[in-house]
Amino acid sequence: MSELSERQWEYRAEQLLLDQLFMQLAKAGEYEDYQLYQQLLQRAETAPLLQKKGGEAHFQKALQYLSTLTDLITVDLKSGRILSKGYQPIDLQRIVDLLPETLSGRLHFLRRFSTDSTNSDLQRHSAQDAQYWAQQYYQSLPSLQDTSSKDEESLKAKVAVAEMQTGGRGRRAKRWVSPLAKNLYFSFKYRFSHRSVPYLSALSLRIGALLLEVLEALGIKGGKVKWPNDIWIGESKLAGILVESLFNRHDVEVIIGIGVNNQYDAALELVGNHPTCCEAILGQPLDRNLLIARLSEKIYHLCEQVEAESYALEQGIPLSKKLPDLRVIWSEISLLYQRRVQLSSDRDLLIGREVGIDESGALLVELPDGEIRPIISGDLSLREL
């Protein structure tokens, strides 16, 4: 067990067992606990825990706990029968295979069965947090064992995904409902140079426009951006975006978190914003692996373009291709363009008409006296009157 204590090793092994059970039950159908136990006993990853004294108890505990996380799996402990409605696990190898060859080796993928937040995973995914990661079960492509710490740090882009989140968060510290295997929990980290800072204030809106494009290509049409970082279909929220930045001495690390409601879950009815999901729109959930691959590809190219344009501007070099002018396309992608709106916080209340955005991504609101006021703070709550 090398550097890990007995308890740390057991904790990691329990995470792995839970994930492997989850994988085993992905296909819809009826299972017997004895057969599942025997199958996991034959796997090199799970055998060490199950062969220990109390291995069967670990198995039963994991099975019962898994059934409490989702309505996709039902366990009858008395009969030993398990019923799975079926689901599609996240498959890192398939995601990588779906990417164009031009991105080979440019992205590092991290998958966890359960995490507090995929944004947090990317914040602590560094050499300083090696002890934390040693105690966690996770998958990584390329494998961390095959990647030197120097190569790891040189990667400009990293992606973290998870089957569920226990502490997913949105703007204004709002909690994002994160049931198992049903939604997209995705975070993308890119290391920008300091010269790109002027472009980053509008990045959340650019990601919103990009997410609309990806969703439309996959059949979700009619989506709009609700400033500053939500995607709505009609009167219902489908997705949210959370962009966080960390300024370092040599660069700026930006983490782009995206959550998409993909499959119906009863918990959706308990939250505000009248949420919808891809399944309600299409009649079936989206392929999450395809969605992750397309988002990773598009966001990587967007970040590259931001870097290229900032460098060209600094050096006085003409560019053949420029970033789209968000001010021009805002009328097409905004949910509340030209509508009467209210912006509120704990201390302020502003009523006016949304008339556009400026080049920094600030919302432009026309007040009753005709003044056009730019709204910068995303901490204000925006809604239609």
**What separation in angstroms does the CA of 370 have from each of 222, 338, 366?**
31, 14, 6
Q: How many CA atoms lie within 13 A of 189 on its CB side?
A: 27
pLDDT at 77: 85
Residue 342's pLDDT is what? 95
Mean pLDDT, the chain, rounded, equals 90
Which whole number is the average pLDDT over 96-104? 94
According to the model, what pLDDT value does residue 12 have?
93
CA–CA dist 66, 53 (Å, integer): 22
Show the 3-state SS of the chain: CCCCCHHHHHHHHHHHHHHHHHHHCCCCEEEEHHHHHHHHHCCCCCHHHHCCCCHHHHHHHHHHHHHHHCCCEEEECCCCEEEECCCCCCCHHHHHHHCCHHHCCCEEEEEEEEECCHHHHHHCCCHHHHHHHHCCCCEEECCHHHCCHHHHHHCCEEEEEEEEECCCECHHHCECCCCCCCCEEEEEEEEECHHHHHHHCCHHHHHHHHHHHHHHHCCCCCEEEECCCEEEECCEEEEEEEEEEEECCCCEEEEEEEEECCCCCHHHHHCCCCCCCHHHHHCCCCCHHHHHHHHHHHHHHHHHHHHHHHHHHHHCCCCCCCCCCHHHHHHHHECCCCCEEEEECCCCEEEEEEEEECCCCCEEEECCCCCEEEECCCCCEEEEC
Q: Assess contact for 62 and 19: CB atoms under 8 A.
A: no
The answer on pLDDT for 68 being more than 70 is: yes
Tens-place pLDDT, residues 285-315: 999 999 999 999 999 999 999 999 999 988 8
Q: What is the pLDDT of residue 89?
A: 97
- Which pLDDT value is given to residue 129? 77
pLDDT tens, position by position, 318-329 = 887 889 999 999
pLDDT digits (tens, 9 = 90+) for 248-287: 888 999 999 999 999 988 766 655 557 899 999 999 999 9
> What strands, in cross-sheet order, belong to the sheet with 184-192?
139-141, 107-115, 157-165, 184-192, 252-260, 236-247, 230-233, 223-226
Task: Pick the range with the lowest mean pLDDT from 26-40, 175-189, 250-264.
Answer: 175-189
Euclidean distance between CA atoms 196 and 307, whole angstroms: 6
pLDDT, one tens digit per residue, over 328-380 is: 999 999 999 999 999 987 778 899 999 999 999 999 999 999 999 999 876 78
Pull the structure tokens for residue 278: 């891809």
Q: Give catalytic residues, as residue numbers.
A: 171, 237, 383
Q: Phi and psi (nearest 5°) for 191?
A: -100, 105
What domains are defined for the chain? 9-44 (no CATH), 57-115+153-315 (3.30.930.10), 336-384 (2.30.30.100)
Q: Is the pTM of this model over 0.85?
A: yes
Q: Is the pLDDT of residue 1 over 50?
A: no
Task: Tell me the C-alpha distance between 154 and 127, whole Å.
Answer: 12
The residue assigned the tokens 């006296």 is 369
Number of Cβ atoms within 10 Å of the Cβ of 68 = 9
